[in-house]
Amino acid sequence: MRQGSVAIQNSYAESVNPQWVRLLDLLGMNVRYERCRGTELFADDGTRYLDFLSGYCVHNTGHNHPYIVEALKQELDRSGPAMLQSHVPELAGELAQRLCALAGGNLTKAFFCSSGSEGVEAAIKFSRAATRRDGLLYCEGAFHGLTCGALSLMDNSFWREGFGTLLAGTTAIPFDDPTALEQQLQTGKYAAFFVEPVQSEGGIRVPAPHYLSAAQQLCKRYGTLLVLDEVQTGMFRTGRFLAAHHFDVAADMVVLAKALSGGLIPVGAVLMTEEISEAVYSSLQRAIVHTSTFSENALAMRAGLATLDVLQQEDLGTRSIQLGNLLRELLTGTLAPYEMFAGTRGLGLLSGIEFRPPTKLSLRLSFQAFRAIHPAMFGQMLVMRFFRQQKILTQMCGNDFMVLKTAPPLVADSTQIHHFVNAAEQVVSELHNSTAFWSESLALARRAMNIAADICVYTNREIVVESVLSA
Ligand SMILES: Cc1ncc(COP(=O)(O)O)c(C=O)c1O
C-alpha cells in the first residue's frame, strides 16, 4: 500500500472503525481500489479484481455506469431544487410511477427513503397504521437490516446481542412453511408478515413454487399484510423486476433499496397499495407524519430513473437469467466430484454455492477444528482464497456460513462466468487436496487469536487445531 493511503487508512482506523481495518488486514483483503468500472475493480498496485459480490446486490448495473454518472452530473449542473422540504419533488413522482408500473399488482404509491433498513422501518409503521395491530411475523434466517425495528425481525443472535430490548410482538417462523404461517396468522394479532422472496443472507434459499402465493392467500384471509423485502432480490437481480414475479405473488408492500440508484446514491423505496398509503397519510394534518430529510432528494431520484433506463435498455433481466443458469449449470458439473460441494441454488444472478462438512477422516478433523474456532472461519478461508489467489471478490452469506454467495453485476459476460467457474474449481480442489489450505487457515486463526480480546478462550482451541494438523 502506498504512503498516502496508509495515512488515510490510519485516520479511518483512528476515527471511524479500527476493527474493520484490522479484519480486512487479517484476511489479506485490505486493498485500496483506485477505479471501478462494470464488473472490475482496479487496485492501486495495478491488480484487477473481478467483482462477484456487487456490494451485496447494489451494483446490478455495474460500477459507475457511464449513463448513470452522466445523468447525475447533469442533475448537479442544472442547480435545481434539492431538499427544500417545501416543494413538490417532481422527480419522485416520476420514479414512483415507473416503479409501481414495473411492480404491478395493486402497488400504486411509493415512499422514498435512504436505505433498506429505513424502508423496513417504514413498512413496520405503515402496516401497523393500516391494520391497527402491533404484531409482526418474520422468517428464521431472515436479514432485514440493522436499525432497531428491522433488527427485531431477525432471529440471529449475532446481530442482536448487546443492543438491548428490541420491538415487542415479533415472532419468527420457519421460511417456506405455510402451515407454520397459518398457525400464527390465526391468532389475529399480526399487522404484517415480512419475507424475502429468496432468502439472501439466509443462504440463497429459493422457496417452493407455491409458497409465496399461498402466503398471500393466507395473509389476506387473516387480515395481515404481506410485505416483500426485495432489497437484494429486486431491480432485476433474479431476472425479473421483482423476484415476486417468478412466483406470481402480489404483495401489499414491497421494499426496494441497494441497486435502485446504480450503486451511487443512497436510496430506498416502499411500494404500497392505495389503502395503506391512505391509512398513513389520512388527512392534511398527517401529510408529513412519516418522512425524512433525505427522502425524495433529487440526486437519488435522478439516479433511480437513470438506473431503470439502463436495466431496461440493456435488457439486464434477460441477461441475468441466462448467465445465472449458465453459472449454476457449469458449477454443478465442475464441482460435482468434490465431496464438500453440496450443490448450487439461486435465481438469475443471485446464486449460492453450498458446502457441507466432509466425511473423509483427514478433512473432517481439520474442518471440525476450524469450525470450533469460529463458525465463519472455514467460509472466510474460501473467500480469502478467491480474493488473494484468484482475484475475485465474493462473500459468505451473513446468516449461513456454509454458502458462498455469487452475485456479479448483471453486466457480466459469459467469459467472466467461465473464468469464475475455473477459479472455483481451483479453490475447491485445493480445499480437498492440499494441506496448504488448512495450514494457512491455522496461521489465520493464530493471527486472529493474537488480536482477539478473549485470547485465553481461544488458546485451548489452538492446541486442538495444532494437534489435528500434525496428526
Ligand atoms: C434483504 C435485505 N433487507 C434489508 C437490508 C437492509 O438494507 P440497508 O443495509 O440498506 O439498510 C438488507 C441489507 O443487506 C438486506 O439484504
Question: So what's the pLDDT on residue 467?
Answer: 45
Q: Is 229 in the pocket of ligand 1 (CB under 6 A)?
A: yes
Q: Is 144 in the pocket of ligand 1 (CB under 6 A)?
A: yes
Range in 11-15, 272-276, 356-360, 435-439 with the lowest mean pLDDT: 435-439
User: What integer is the mean pLDDT of 8-14?
Assistant: 85
CA dihedral 275, 117, 134, 249 (to 10 degrees): 50
Determine whether 229 is an active site residue.
Answer: yes
Q: Is 232 in the pocket of ligand 1 (CB under 6 A)?
A: yes
The per-residue pLDDT for range 125-142, each reduced to its tens digit, is 999 999 999 999 999 999
The per-residue pLDDT for range 192-208, each reduced to its tens digit, is 999 999 999 999 999 99
Question: So what's the pLDDT on residue 8?
Answer: 64
Q: Is the pLDDT of residue 279 over 80?
A: yes
* Sequential DSSP letters for 442-463: HHHHHHHHHH-TTHHHHHHHHH
Range in 323-332, 409-418, 434-443 with the lowest mean pLDDT: 434-443
Average pLDDT, the chain: 93
CA 145–ligand 1 middle distance (angstroms)? 5
The per-residue pLDDT for range 289-312, each reduced to its tens digit, is 999 999 999 999 999 999 999 999
Give residue 7's pLDDT band: very low, low, confident or very high (50, 70, 90).
Answer: low
Counting from 1 in the atom list of ligand 1, the atom nearest the Cα of 201 is: 16
Counting from 1 in the atom list of ligand 1, the atom nearest the Cα of 117 is: 11
CA 212–ligand 1 middle distance (angstroms)? 20
CA 243–ligand 1 middle distance (angstroms)? 15
User: What integer is the mean pLDDT of 383-400?
Assistant: 96
Pocket probe mutation, ligand 1, options 120, 156, 204, 231, max atoms within 8 Å of Cβ: 231
**Does residue 93 contact residue 99 with C-beta atoms inside 8 Å?**
no
Question: So what's the pLDDT on residue 360?
Answer: 87
Range in 21-30, 248-257, 273-282 with the lowest mean pLDDT: 21-30
**Does residue 402 contact residue 345 with C-beta atoms inside 8 Å?**
no
User: What integer is the mean pLDDT of 348-368?
Assistant: 92
Other Cβ atoms within 10 Å of 417 Cβ, number: 23
Look at residues 190, 202, 192 and name the one whose alpha carbon lies nearest to residue 233: 202
DSSP conformational letter for 336: T
Q: Is 159 in the pocket of ligand 1 (CB under 6 A)?
A: no
Grouping H, G, I as helix, E, B as strand and the rest as coil, residue 358 is: coil
Q: Is the pLDDT of residue 58 over 90?
A: yes
Q: Which of 112, 258, 386, 405 is catalytic?
A: 258
Q: How many whole angstroms separate alpha carbon 319 and alpha carbon 408?
A: 12
Q: Is 114 in the pocket of ligand 1 (CB under 6 A)?
A: no
Look at residues 354, 384, 358, 356 and name the one whose alpha carbon lies nearest to residue 448: 384
Nearest CA to ligand 1 atom 4: 144
Q: Is the pLDDT of residue 74 over 80?
A: yes
Q: Percent of the chain beyond pLDDT 90?
A: 83
CA 143–ligand 1 middle distance (angstroms)? 7
Counting from 1 in the atom list of ligand 1, the atom nearest the Cα of 258 is: 10
CA 266–ligand 1 middle distance (angstroms)? 12
Question: So what's the pLDDT on residue 202?
Answer: 97
Q: Which of 52, 111, 194, 229 is catalytic?
A: 229
* Amino acid in the structure at residue 5: S
Pocket probe mutation, ligand 1, options 53, 117, 237, max atoms within 8 Å of Cβ: 117
Counting from 1 in the atom list of ligand 1, the atom nearest the Cα of 268 is: 10
Nearest CA to ligand 1 atom 16: 232
Range in 110-124, 229-243, 366-380 with the lowest mean pLDDT: 366-380
Q: How many whole angstroms separate alpha carbon 360 and alpha carbon 363?
A: 6
The per-residue pLDDT for range 153-186, each reduced to its tens digit, is 999 999 999 999 999 999 999 999 999 999 999 9
CA 417–ligand 1 middle distance (angstroms)? 26
Determine whether 258 is an active site residue.
Answer: yes
Determine whether 341 is an active site residue.
Answer: no
Q: How many whole angstroms separate alpha carbon 200 and alpha carbon 406?
A: 11
Phi, psi of 320 (to 5 degrees): -60, -45
Its sign, for the CA torsion 411, 203, 327, 367, is positive
Long-range residue pairs from 456-460, CB within 8 A, at least 24 positions apart, any chain: 458/373
CA 103–ligand 1 middle distance (angstroms)? 19
Other Cβ atoms within 10 Å of 301 Cβ, number: 26
Give residue 1's pLDDT band: very low, low, confident or very high (50, 70, 90).
Answer: low
Q: HSE, CB side, 13 Å, CA atoms: give it for residue 185.
A: 22
Other Cβ atoms within 10 Å of 286 Cβ, number: 12
Counting from 1 in the atom list of ligand 1, the atom nearest the Cα of 147 is: 11
Q: Is 237 in the pocket of ligand 1 (CB under 6 A)?
A: no
Q: How many whole angstroms separate alpha carbon 430 and alpha carbon 420?
A: 15
Give the predicted TM-score (pTM) of the model.
Answer: 0.94
- In the chain the first and final C-alpha atoms are separated, in Å, by 38
Residue 51: partners with Cβ closer than 8 Å, 6 or more residues away:
36, 39, 40, 41, 59, 63, 393, 408, 409
Q: Is 200 in the pocket of ligand 1 (CB under 6 A)?
A: yes
Question: So what's the pLDDT on residue 454?
Answer: 40
Phi, psi of 99 (to 5 degrees): -65, -45
The crossing angle, in degrees rounded to 10, of helices 377-388 and 435-451 is 110
Give residue 5's pLDDT band: very low, low, confident or very high (50, 70, 90).
Answer: low
Look at residues 238, 257, 271 and name the one whose alpha carbon lies nearest to residue 102: 271
Range in 49-63, 221-235, 438-452 with the lowest mean pLDDT: 438-452
CA 119–ligand 1 middle distance (angstroms)? 9
Pocket probe mutation, ligand 1, options 144, 147, 227, max atoms within 8 Å of Cβ: 144
Residue 232's DSSP bridge partners are none
CA 152–ligand 1 middle distance (angstroms)? 13
Q: Which of 111, 112, 126, 143 is catalytic?
A: 143
